[in-house]
Amino acid sequence: HGLTTALPTALERGEFFIEYQPLVHLGDGSVRGAEALVRWLHPQHGVLGPDRFIPLAEHTGLIVPLGRWVLEQSVRQAREWRELQGGADAVGPLRINVNLSPCQLTHPGLVQDTVDILERTGIEPDALCLEVTESALIGADDDLLKPLRRLAEMGVDIALDDFGTGYSNLANLRRLPVSILKLDRSFTQSMQQFPVDPVDLKIVEGIVSLAHTLDLAVTVEGVETGAQAEQLRMLGCDTAQGWYYARPGPPDRLHELALMDA
């Protein structure tokens, strides 16, 4: 249909843009970074979210150049924030999280493209986190994990996105080159009921405890209220993201939020 034919030229025409949603440290409420979320400003349909075009981009192969563009833009943005911060911040430079689709994982250029972008931009690898969904790594063999392992060895963080939705073998976590678990929004939603189901509490507590045993940090998604944030903080989660802090927005907004608590 129409979106499919317009997609390849959209990148050349500069119709994609990125919004940033803050990642907040649950312990002190400070903004530590942001997740980059791509949007398409379609000339007829207006702003389209990733759910409307990422599957198409994956299907047509455009996801590889589009993903590379998102990575480069986001890393450049992180450098710009750093320059504005002046390097004098107690919490350190703002970090940037970028989503990787499974097609990018199997693309042979992933490691080199990432190295090139980091070098061109002058950003240290540890300022970058690549988010890979749990379902993309279920049953992953060594060939699929090798590029992620290379990136992790360089210092890039790998996050397991939408964790808890993919029925992964928990013991399997050990062999993945992952340093962050992003707990799926559904867990956060279960913290919204009052009283919170004690079994739901135990499940989150168990995941957090397992994650920390494996030296993984836990980020929670979809935090919409202060009560959820407090509950998740008490359960030991490290970082949070959600509308309670901010909706995804333009890069200046992220910088303002980071300055507000600095």
For Mn ion, give the closer residue by CB, 8 or 17: 17
The β-bridge partners of 37 are 19
Q: Which of 162, 164, 181, 235 binds Na ion (CB under 5 A)?
A: 162
Q: Which of 24, 70, 117, 237 binds ligand G (CB under 6 A)?
A: 70
Q: Both tokens of residue 131?
A: 């988010």
CB of 241 to Na ion, least distance (A): 9
Per-position x/- string for 159-178, each x denoting binding to ligand G as judged by CB under 6 A, each - no binding: --x-----------------
Interaction partner, residue 228 (ligand G, Na ion, Mn ion, none; CB < 5-8 Å by kind): none
Between strands 180-183 and 217-220, the pairing is parallel
Listed residue (139, 132, 135, 138) closest to 160, CA to CA: 132
Stretch that binds Na ion, among 3-11, 19-27, 67-75, 155-163 (CB under 5 A): 155-163
CB of 86 to ligand G, least distance (A): 28
For Mn ion, give the closer residue by CB, 161 or 184: 161
**Hunting for tokens 């090139």 — which residue is that?**
116
Listed residue (165, 193, 180, 194) closest to 241, CA to CA: 180
Q: Which of 6, 7, 24, 54 binds ligand G (CB under 6 A)?
A: 54
221 binds Mn ion (CB under 5 A): no
Amino acid of residue 36: A
Residue 185: enclosing H or E segment and its boundaries?
helix 185-190
Stretch that binds ligand G, among 2-10, 109-117, 205-213, 215-223 (CB under 6 A): 215-223
Number of residues that bind Mn ion (CB under 5 A): 3
Interaction partner, residue 234 (ligand G, Mn ion, Na ion, none; CB < 5-8 Å by kind): none
Give phi and psi for 240, each to the nearest 5. -135, 160
The span from the CA of 41 to the CA of 15, in Å, is 5
Q: According to CB under 5 A, which residues from 95 to 124 bind Mn ion? A: 99
Tell me how many degrees the CA angle 11-9-78 measures, rounded to the nearest 5: 0
CB of 19 to ligand G, least distance (A): 7
Q: According to CB under 5 A, which residues from 131 to 190 bind Mn ion? A: 131, 161
Stretch that binds Na ion, among 43-51, 53-61, 89-97, 160-168 (CB under 5 A): 160-168
The span from the CA of 64 to the CA of 103, in Å, is 7
Q: Both tokens of residue 232?
A: 């998740």
Amino acid of residue 185: R
CB 26 within 8 A of CB 18: no
Q: Which residues bind ligand G (CB under 6 A)?
A: 21, 37-38, 49-51, 54, 67, 70, 99, 101, 161, 221-224, 242-243, 248
